[in-house]
Amino acid sequence: MTRRSQALRSLYPPIEPYAIHRVDVGSGHQLHVEEAGNPAGIPVVFLHGGPGGGIAPVMRRFFDPNRYRVVLPDQRGAGRSTPLGELRDNTTWHLVDDLEVLREHLGVDAWLVFGGSWGSTLALAYAQSHPTRVTGLILRGIYLVRRSERTWIYQNGLHNLQPEEWERFVAPVPRDERDDILAAYHRRLVGDDREVARRWAGAWMRWEAVNSSLTPDPSFIAALTDDDTALPAAQILAHYVVNGGFFESETQLLDGVDRIRHLPAVIIQGRYDLCCPPVTAFDLARRWPEATLHIVPDAGHSSLEPGTTDQLIRSTDRFAVRLSQPV
């Protein structure tokens, strides 16, 4: 064991929620929301990835339970929110509005925003829309849904690093549709034939899973490709990606950084992140010089890789000290 690995911080112990809510956000959508930690602690909202991914018990463990009031919502159509997999009235801006409904429902004046992967996208969109309601941001595995990022994952880029998995991913796609793999998948996933959609969802979610960490985790792959969860997750993810995250321009989140440059922020990025390459984090940090950028030298995309977990825990601990100090 190296000196560096001995010094790495690890997750806080497992903890159960002290409250579970069903929050009506309109249009027939109800959010499943958990609260964990200290009810009188520093408010922080955890924004899960995907989109369509949902929360998991391990996500409570990035925060000191004595110092934080941790709010963990399942986003529209995801996890235990209902209706599961619903695409109607489900855009980034609906999710931004949902966070405001939830904040007011819980009586929170302002909160720390913690988001990784798609969660970093939503965190930036929310903070830029409501900067006075944000005390800081912890962002990991940055994703801005730009065309270059979508092309890298789904058309021309990542296949060079994952050739055998790419062959599995494109196998269902007819050769005359392979000029737009994303569109081919989207058509089947949201089509009328549910059995076809389920088969394509399994292939889609395997591609997502194998690229989500430096070393693929068989249990994670099994969880993401499970028949009961793969289809709604794949449908929502494809819905958002095909629509470019519902942003007005390719650079909307970068152009909006000036609205939040006064907020303390940490950007944590794995050097070998396959699905969200470091160039995106670098582009964000270049537009946001006040933010602290940490490149983890031996990590991929997952928040549970040791070096990334270490940086996330150190960041939440530093924010706990900072946000506890009198203004």
Q: What is the pLDDT of residues 119-152, one digit of tens each?
A: 999 999 999 999 999 999 999 999 999 999 999 9
Please tell me which residue in 81, 117, 120, 302 is annotated as part of the active site. Answer: 117
Q: Residue 232's pLDDT is what?
A: 96
The three-class DSSP label of residue 320 is: helix
β-bridge partners, 13: none
Instruction: Indicate whether this model's pTM tops 0.75.
Output: yes
pLDDT for residue 325 is more than 90 = no
- Euclidean distance between CA atoms 166 and 203, whole angstroms: 10
In angstroms, the first-to-last Cα distance of the chain is 42
- Euclidean distance between CA atoms 289 and 139, whole angstroms: 15
301 catalytically annotated = yes
Mean of all residue pLDDT scores within the chain: 96
Q: Residue 1's pLDDT is what?
A: 34
Q: Whose structure tokens read 């922080």?
A: 44
Report CA torsion sign: 297, 301, 306, 308: positive
Give, for 220, the enclosing helix (H) or strand (E).
Answer: helix 218-224
pLDDT tier, 228 (very low <50, low <70, confident <90, very high otherwise): confident
How many percent of the chain have pLDDT more than 90? 93
Q: Residue 6's pLDDT is what?
A: 59
In this predicted model, what pLDDT tens digit does every residue of 154-176 receive, in sequence order?
999 999 999 999 999 999 999 99
Report CA torsion sign: 297, 165, 242, 302: negative
Residues 74, 76, 78, 79, Cα dihedral to 10°: 40
Q: Residue 169's pLDDT is what?
A: 97
249 catalytically annotated = no
- Euclidean distance between CA atoms 22 and 4, whole angstroms: 43
pLDDT for residue 284 is more than 70 = yes
Specify burial of residue 100 (Cβ count, 10 A radius: 0-12, 13-18, 19+): middle
Q: Whose structure tokens read 């302002």?
A: 110
Please tell me which residue in 29, 32, 130, 301 is annotated as part of the active site. Answer: 301
- Euclidean distance between CA atoms 18 and 38, whole angstroms: 9
Q: Residue 2's pLDDT is what?
A: 38
**DSSP-based helix, strand, coil % in the chain, nearest 5:** 45, 15, 35
In this predicted model, what pLDDT tens digit does every residue of 172-225 receive, in sequence order?
999 999 999 999 999 999 999 999 999 999 999 999 999 999 988 899 899 899
Domains of the chain: 3-145+247-324 (3.40.50.1820), 147-245 (no CATH)
The string over 2-29, giving b where at least 16 C-beta atoms fall within 10 Å of a residue's C-beta and e elsewhere, is: eeeeeeeeebbeeeeeeeebebebeeeb
Report CA torsion sign: 152, 157, 161, 162: positive
Q: Residue 216's pLDDT is what?
A: 85
pLDDT for residue 249 is more than 90 = yes
β-bridge partners, 293: 267
The string over 54-82, giving b where at least 16 C-beta atoms fall within 10 Å of a residue's C-beta and e elsewhere, is: bbeeebbbbbbbebbbbbbbbbbbbbebb
70: which DSSP letter? E
Mean pLDDT of 219-234: 91
48 catalytically annotated = no
Q: Residue 3's pLDDT is what?
A: 38
212: which DSSP letter? S
Q: Residue 217's pLDDT is what?
A: 85
Mean pLDDT of 304-327: 93
pLDDT tier, 326 (very low <50, low <70, confident <90, very high otherwise): low
Please tell me which residue in 74, 98, 273, 310 is annotated as part of the active site. Answer: 273
Nearest to 46 by CA among 17, 77, 83: 17
How many percent of the chain have pLDDT more than 70? 98
The dihedrals phi and psi of 272, each to the nearest 5 degrees, come to: -110, 35
Least confident stretch, 14-28, 163-177, 208-222, 245-259: 208-222
In this predicted model, what pLDDT tens digit does every residue of 68-125 receive, in sequence order?
999 999 999 999 999 999 999 999 999 999 999 999 999 999 999 999 999 999 999 9
